[in-house]
Structure 1
Amino acid sequence: METPSCNMYVDPAEEEETLKKGVRHVCRSVVKEWQGVEETLMEVSHITGGITNLLLKVEVKSPGISPESVTVRIFGPHTETVIDRDREKQALRHLSESGFGAGLIGLFDNGMVQTFIVARTLTPPELSQPATAARIAKELRRLHETEAPFPKEPQLWADISRFMEKASTLSFEDPKKNEIYQSIPFSELQEEIDELKRSSKSLEAPIVFAHNDLLSGNVMYNEEEDKMYFIDFEYSTYNYRGYDIANHFNEYAGFECDYNLYPSKDAQYHFFRHYLSSLNSEKVSEAELEKLYIETNVYALGSHLYWGIWAIVQARYSSIDFDYLDYFFLRYGEYKRRKNEFLSLIPSQQIDK
């Protein structure tokens, strides 16, 4: 069935009341059940947590109207430089039909309207709690087993290459930002990308349909229904199994990048057992655990490179108040700190292949 759409553009930088008026217009256009609802009955509020898009909740204050609430996601300016929006729309339709995340209700020029999930987002410290980690592992395995309508080619290196091409040719009007940007060692960065790509190839990691951005804000939990949801699949595509898990583990650190919170080997094994066996986590072999441990920690380095370079592009274009250039240096610093440790996990005979 064709998704309702309109060609309205909502400027996320507009003054609050103008922004909300635009959001109400969009909702009346694409939410079929709301087309006759007075705008005065629509309450718009902000949802916190994202550093890429502007998220809003729109609620109809009138009995008998269904749905009562929707989520409106306004894409950040120039996010098409780091996100394939056509790929995202394809993924959302497929995932919605497969029971993942929020349903897609409608599209507008620079965003989308989705069903509102009644649940709260998790916090970074909650991700590492054993019971929560076990549930996330099982749900992630379920996601990885889905079949999506894309070529089954891992996108990690293609996306990093695309980001690098953009990141290395920027300029900033702000002299302070430009000075920081000029200090980024792009030649060194490219050498690191090439080396990691060569080294990780020997892992022969399984290719799965991956979330690719499973931070705490993209995991929601409804206590009353005891139900967990993954949301925001804008980076989802086929990728390396270990990369998706590693990316999640890196998010234990939160946006503050406290990498002392990166999970220990025992904590990782707990996650792996529940990921590898949804029935009996004790029957997973030591060889399976060790293979996934190596795979995950090597690709943790790829996650740092990916989001570090992504942040350089965001620093130039995003209107969200976040220090993206500092975030690059935090991610790249952690990459360099852990590089030798994680690459040394690869058996030497595999590297020599």
Structure 2
Amino acid sequence: MGAAKIWNAMEVAAEDGCGPGIRSSPLAVDTSLSLPDMSPRVIELCKDLFTEWSRLDDSRFAVETVSGGITNLLLKVSVNEESGNVESITVRLYGPNTEYVIDREREFHAIKYLSAAGFGAKLIAIFGNGMVQSFINARTLTPEDMRKPKLVAEIAKQLHKFHQVEIPGSKEPQLWNDIFKFFEKASNLKFDDNEKQRKYETISFKEIHDELLELKELTGLLNAPLVFAHNDLLCGNFMLNDEEGKLYFIDFEYGSYNYRGYDIGNHFNEYAGYECDYSLYPSKDEQYYFFRHYLMPDKPQQVPDKDLEALYIETNTYMLASHLFWALWGLIQAKMSPIDFDYMEYFFLRYNEFKRQKQSSLSLAKSYLTGS
């Protein structure tokens, strides 16, 4: 999707009363640069976006890295204004070629409604390869944080609220549309690197396709509620202000209408971190603790057992779909992304875990559905 089309969409959003006008710039920032080389370009971008800063000396700007994941780079820009105030904003730079796996139009449509509902940072501006948002004074969580009971309860409560947000437009769940799009792209790659190509050729895409069809059919029997889902609730997409105890959800790039159990199952998979240590996947008791605070945030101990069991089955079946989604995503990134991360190995880690978990999860779901 071209930048002009995105900007037009944002201007329409501003005019329809859903949010203030969004500033825009055609400038882009080369994400392959080191921070010292990148900083002058970020400052130039800020001056282009914010005319009130255009005449300030560059020495009044400070640029630092907030976090660098395997998709985006987050920068904090602090500006010492002439009034003496120090203003801070967040500049989010998209990873190169992420348009192959992310629907930016869908993201921009949702972000203003999520922001109005109190989620994430406020969207201030967009530019050639990123966006500017209000600065959140908080730290990103670690995989260890996500297991702490107090934070588990808070994440569950916040997710309950998140899933109540109404995003105008189609309510069609996107999971299978997105997975099959990924499958088409992932199954038609060719790598210049001989070792990557050799590994790629060991993958049976017929097997994966059969797995997708079987799982789609089974999950369809669960009648999982449809919600607007985050779809990427890993530790790096939570921020916590330790002093205030305030938790924030950020980065809605993969957000869409989807199945409730998918969002939760995907979150549980992320307990494993980028290292994919699936021994950290939450036990049934740990999951039930989460479910209680998700289903009845104000009265977690009053959740009926049948509701806990239903959500347990739903979550641990859709958990399998999460592995397939991110495995195929990893293959596409292995071809498209210049980021120094072994995406090919990531595919195998996710797909192998899918195969390891498949039989027990599917058996559980089938027993539940047949009442046996």
Letter in 2 for 1:144: H
Which residue of structure 2 aligns with residue 13 of structure 1?
32
Which residue of structure 1 aligns with residue 300 of structure 2?
281
C-alpha separation between the residues in 1 aligned to 2:99 and 2:188? 16
1:77 and 2:96 equivalent?
Answer: yes
1:295 and 2:322 equivalent?
Answer: no
Letter in 2 for 1:118: N
> RMSD across aligned C-alpha pairs, in angstroms?
1.7
C-alpha separation between the residues in 2 aligned to 1:294 and 1:240? 13
The higher-RCO structure (CA 8 Å, 6+ apart) is 1
Contact 1:150–1:238 (CA under 8 A) maintained in structure 2: no
Letter in 2 for 1:171: K
What TM-score do you get using the length of structure 2 for normalisation? 0.91
1:29 and 2:48 equivalent?
Answer: yes
User: Shift in Å at residue 71 of structure 1?
Assistant: 1.1
Which residue of structure 2 aligns with residue 316 of structure 1?
335
Give 1:121's match in structure 2, choosing from 133, 140, 151: 140
Contact 2:272–2:278 (CA under 8 A) maintained in structure 1: yes
Give 2:118's match in structure 1, choosing from 96, 99, 111: 99
User: Shift in Å at residue 15 of structure 1?
Assistant: 4.9
Stretch of structure 1 that moved more, 168-177 or 258-267: 168-177
Letter in 2 for 1:22: R
Which residue of structure 2 aligns with residue 329 of structure 1?
348
Letter in 2 for 1:34: W
Which residue of structure 2 aligns with residue 197 of structure 1?
216
C-alpha change, 1:179 and 1:229, in structure 2 (3 Å) is: same
Pairing 1:50-65 to 2, within 5 Å after superposition = 50-62=69-81, 64=83
Unmatched segments (≥5 aa) in structure 1: none
Letter in 1 for 2:312: Y
Which residue of structure 2 aligns with residue 230 of structure 1?
249
Tell me the alpha carbon deviations over residues 109-164 of structure 1, each in whole angstroms, 9 at most, x when there is no partner.
Answer: 11111111100111101111111100000000000001012311111111111111
C-alpha separation between the residues in 2 aligned to 1:293 and 1:85? 32
Which residue of structure 1 aligns with residue 60 of structure 2?
41
C-alpha separation between the residues in 2 aligned to 1:187 and 1:351? 29
Tell me the alpha carbon deviations over residues 232-282 of structure 1, each in whole angstroms, 9 at most, x when there is no partner.
Answer: 111111110000000110000000101000000000000000000021111
1:3 and 2:22 equivalent?
Answer: yes
C-alpha separation between the residues in 2 aligned to 1:67 and 1:328? 44
Give 2:272's match in structure 1, choosing from 253, 276, 279: 253
Stretch of structure 1 that moved more, 142-151 or 201-210: 142-151
C-alpha change, 1:114 and 1:66, in structure 2 (3 Å) is: farther
Which residue of structure 1 aligns with residue 227 of structure 2?
208
User: Shift in Å at residue 225 of structure 1?
Assistant: 1.6
Contact 1:242–1:295 (CA under 8 A) maintained in structure 2: yes
C-alpha change, 1:66 and 1:196, in structure 2 (3 Å) is: farther
C-alpha change, 1:67 and 1:193, in structure 2 (3 Å) is: farther
Give 1:166's match in structure 2, choosing from 185, 188, 199: 185
Give 1:87's match in structure 2, choosing from 94, 103, 106: 106
Unmatched segments (≥5 aa) in structure 2: 1-19
User: Shift in Å at residue 103 of structure 1?
Assistant: 0.7
Give 2:206's match in structure 1, choosing from 187, 208, 215: 187
Tell me the alpha carbon deviations over residues 317-350 of structure 1, each in whole angstroms, 9 at most, x when there is no partner.
Answer: 1121110000000000000000011111124483
What TM-score do you get using the length of structure 1 for normalisation? 0.96
